[in-house]
Amino acid sequence: MQPGSTAPMSVKTTRYLLMGRIGFFGLWLLQPLWILWLAPPQMGNAYVLLALLWLPLWLPLYGIVKGHAYTMAWANFIVMIYFLHSLTNLWVSSGMHQLLSVVELVLASLMFVGCTYYARHRGQELGLKIPKLKDDPRR
């Protein structure tokens, strides 16, 4: 299979794509709901917090909708923001914030696992691979 060509997607790959998308769109919906309605911040401007937490999710939106393996791979860098946010809130908050933090952590975990394994399996199906350093002829 030539790189760049389309290949049929296995059931396992489709499951990981669905898992990554559920996590992503869950986070995408959770952020404005949490910040504007469910548990608005006590201090500071809610719109600034919304911009900091919601805008990064807009960057990989197109690639995740289209199922681009490369986008799914680099979206894992963005999901780290939500891991840190949820774990910090779990440590310092109580009540509704703690419950929402658990939801955020579950969604971030779904997205991370789904995106990681989707990118891996889809890349293999398309014949894409990252060369190992020991196989690099320039070394």
Q: What is the pLDDT of residues 34-61, one digit of tens each?
A: 999 999 998 889 999 999 999 999 999 9
Query: pTM of the full predicted structure?
Result: 0.88
Contact indicator for 66, 75 with CB cutoff of 8 Å:
no
Buried b (16+ CB within 10 A) or exposed e, 18-30: ebbbebbbbbbeb
Q: What is the pLDDT of residues 90-100, one digit of tens each?
A: 999 999 999 99
